[in-house]
Every structure is written in C-alpha cells, then in structure tokens.
Amino acid sequence: MRRITLSRYLIEQQREKNHLNSDLRLLIEVVARACKTISVAINKGELAGVLGSAGTDNVQGEVQKKLDVLSNEILLDANEWGGHLAAMASEEMDEPHPIPNRFPKGEFLLVFDPLDGSSNIDVNMTVGTIFSVLKCPEGVEPNEQAFLQPGVKQVAAGYALYGPSTMLVLTTGHGVDAFTLDREQGSFVLTQKGMRIPEETKEFAINMSNMRFWEAPMQRYINELLAGKEGPRGKDFNMRWIASMVADVHRIMTRGGVFFYPIDSKTKDKGGKLRLMYEANPMSMLVEQAGGAATNGLQRILEIKPEKLHQRVPVMLGSKQEIDLVTSYHLESQ
C-alpha cells in the first residue's frame, strides 16, 4: 500500500486539487510539527518533569497545568517565524499574540487550544490540541477584532489526538482526513480518508453529573435516551464520557455518536462552558465536513458571530439525526 505522508498529501491538495495555497500548506505543516513536539513531551510525562500544576491561572480562571503552558509555548515558537501568520490567539492567553516585527507577516490567523482535556494528563488519559485557521481581513490590524469571524469563515481546522497513537485529523473544507504519526519515521501518514459520521447512533457523550442543572429541553432529550427500548426512542443507548473534547469527538468521528456540553444554571451567566473560537468552531467544521451537525441548541454553531475572543457557547454535535432532534426540542421551548 502506498504511504502518503502529510507533506505529500498537502502538496497534492495544493498542486492537483487547488484546495489550498502554499502559505496555508506550510502553516499546516508547521502546526503538525509543533503537535509532534507536544506529543513527545506528553509521552515522557513525569520522566520530563512536565506533570502537575504550573501554579498559575489562564484567562478563564482555570488552573494551568505545566503541559498547558509548555504546549502553548511550543505552538507560539513554531509559528512565529514562518511568515504565514498575522497573529495567533490561544486559550492560555488573554490577548492575541502578534507576530514579532523581526519576522515577516502573512495573511492567516491561527487560533488554538494548546492542550484540550489537560485535567486528564496526570492520570495518563487521552488529551489533544485543537486549532482553527482564519484569513486576516485585508487592511485590518491583527487585533482581537480581526479574529471575530463566524466559523463559516474558517479555511482549515483540525486536532491532534495524543493517545495510544498520535493522530492528526484535518479539514481544509473538502472532507476530513486522518493521519497517524509514525514515530520511527517522524512523519504523519494518511491512515483514514474521507471520514464520515453515521446519521444515526446509539451512543452519546455528556457529563451526567450536571443533569440537575440543565434546562428542560436537554433533560427531556436525555431522559428519553435513558428510557431505552421501553421509552419513546424504542432502543437502548450507551453513554461514553472522557472529559476531553478531542477524545470524545474523535470517537464520534470514527464510529458515530453525539457530544453535548449544554447550557446549565452553573454556566448560564458565562454563556456556556466551551469556547467558541478555539473549541466549538473548529470541531463544528470537522463534524459538518464529515456529514454530522453542530448547534448550540438553537442555531448552527458555524453561523454564530463572535463578540469576544474567549466567548463561550453551548455545544451539541455529532450524528445528524440526533442533533436535529435535540435542537428541535430547544426550539420548541422558545
């Protein structure tokens, strides 16, 4: 079987299919290299002294792990000098990170969650990196306002999954393909082309401990799933919950299912739990490109116009049939 590396794949996407330009191709390669570096640090764990708390909080008031800080630095350092970016923004930084004046500037904006699910690090569970690429509007300074574009404006999105194997799942707006890191060769190799999410599923992912805080439409939907064959859905459902969005979404991308982090009384004043720009938008683009659906309960996530960089939203994504149903329950309640 012919082995297609990420580099070859991107060159073919540029040369033969005209799906991306040379700067975007190189940008994706740089992000992939940074993810390989993060993977090495995670793989060494306590041997490298990278586990545990960094003793600081991020802009969301969440305690940062040492690997949160390290992963953020790796992505910044890797992407500053290539000449592809106008600026970067991260979950771990209050403000956008401009490209230093000593380096050339490009036309793209990179947004990322450097280490999603980092609360799982110390117990050796799967974590990941999520990223989104936007074009910087012409004639606009690469400040926070430049980043505030709806998800439909993304030109690429992806995530790296640091599990038993390290994977990179990517879309440039023409389907979703997955690559597995060959550690001996040091290359990401195409291992799954044209990922598709089945429209129907019997599997859901949600934090059930928050059930008493959910709004009525979400409680109604989950109670129907829990009722199983004897309930209105007429079939049994299984629940899976890893508490790492990358891991939960990757399972859905691989075999179907739905993922929920709905609004609840604890997070309502913040707008939700997950961040729109660097969690919900890139994951929604990937899910839609794989034939799934993604809403906040009332509207398509990719059509939400961001008002601030660290904006939070409710997230419901995965197999289309289930997302359409739970969205209809929320719309009925309006």
CA distances from 309 to 86, 150, 196, 264 (A): 16, 11, 30, 21
Task: Determine if residue 207 is labeled as part of a ligand binding site.
Answer: yes
Which is nearest to 158 in space by CA: 183, 179, 135, 139? 179
**Closest to 135 (Cα-Cα) out of 120, 147, 123, 118:** 147
Residue 91 annotated in ligand binding: yes
Nearest-Å Rg of the Cα atoms of the chain is 19
Q: Is 132 annotated as a binding residue?
A: no
Is 274 annotated to bind a ligand? Reply is no
Q: How far is Cα 278 from Cα 149, in angstroms, rounded to an integer?
A: 12
Q: Is 182 annotated as a binding residue?
A: no
Per-domain residue ranges of the chain: 6-192, 203-332
Q: Which fold has domain 203-332?
A: D-Maltodextrin-Binding Protein; domain 2 (3.40.190)
Q: 6-192 in CATH: which number?
A: 3.30.540.10
Joined together, the tokens standing for residue 215 give 């709004």
Q: What is the pLDDT along the chain (334 residues), one digit of tens a residue?
A: 579 999 999 999 999 878 789 999 999 999 999 999 999 998 887 776 767 665 565 656 565 678 888 999 999 999 999 999 999 999 999 999 999 889 999 999 999 999 998 878 788 889 999 999 999 998 888 999 999 999 999 999 999 999 999 999 999 999 999 999 999 989 999 999 999 999 999 999 999 999 999 999 999 999 999 999 999 999 999 999 999 999 999 999 999 999 999 999 999 999 999 999 999 999 999 999 999 999 999 999 999 999 999 999 999 999 999 999 999 999 999 8
Burial 241-257 (b: 16+ CB within 10 A, else e): ebebbbbbbbbbbeebb
